[in-house]
Amino acid sequence: MARSLSMEGWRAVDEYFTGLLVDEDDALRAARESSVRTVLPMADVAPNQGAFLALVARMCGARRVLEFGTLAGYSTIWLARAVGQDGCVVTLEIDEPTAEVARENFVRAGVSDVVDLVVGPAAVSAEALVDAGAEPFDLVFIDADKPSNPTYLALALRLSRPGTVIVCDNVVRNGAVADAGSDDPRVAGVRAFTDMVAADPRLSGTVLQTVGVKGWDGFAIAVVGES
């Protein structure tokens, strides 16, 4: 008998596919569990979503990755392993105690040499990268405070090149994104982000809804084209 559409059923499906396909080792598991010590406990991506990000990085041949929002560094580890020892992941985290948790996890996972963790407001840190003439990134993952999504997208574009892939997490928000009258600033941030993608001729994108251990949500994914 088919399961009803519920968190129980979504979780069971995630556990089935994750158990078969996702190689979450002890270092990744410890990083995910350490999320309880961060400023946003248990807000990291799920294991199958981490594996998805790693696959995206590999598919686009990413060697330079920019991440808005580190938390415990769970997604960062997936991305760092995907880019390999010759790659680099620059990850931006506003909270120093949370950053310290992530640093411990990077050491445990053996990716400290690949990760550059920058502490401070993400927009300020990204602007500093622009001002410093940073080499363009191949992949940008936006998973920080949702009201700032439009700001992060604008900065991501200044740090991109034709072919750069931009992924933004948590864009469905249990369906609230469809409510044009929502007064939730997180919903407004997502809608503004999506409007920017739709209006920018350089960007081709779509959104995939997801259900699973993280509830009902989804990813936006876009690729940068020629100006």
3-state SS, residue 194: helix
Query: Is position 1 within any domain?
Result: no
Query: Is position 186 within any domain?
Result: yes
pLDDT digits (tens, 9 = 90+) for 49-88: 999 999 999 999 999 999 999 999 999 999 999 999 999 9
Q: What is the pTM assigned to this prediction?
A: 0.96
Place of tokens 């990755």: 65
Give residue 99's domain range: 7-224
pLDDT digits (tens, 9 = 90+) for 85-119: 999 999 999 999 999 999 999 999 999 999 999 99
Query: Is position 56 within any domain?
Result: yes
**Averaged pLDDT of the chain:** 96
Alpha-carbon distance of 98 to 62, in angstroms, equals: 26
**Sheet containing 115-119, strands listed edge to edge, beginning at the edge strand earlier in sequence:** 115-119, 88-93, 64-68, 139-142, 165-169, 215-224, 203-212
Query: Is position 44 within any domain?
Result: yes
- Number of domains the chain is built from: 1
Query: Domain containing 107 — which CATH number?
Result: 3.40.50.150
Query: Is position 83 within any domain?
Result: yes
Alpha-carbon distance of 224 to 227, in angstroms, equals: 9
Alpha-carbon distance of 100 to 119, in angstroms, equals: 10
Query: Is position 2 within any domain?
Result: no
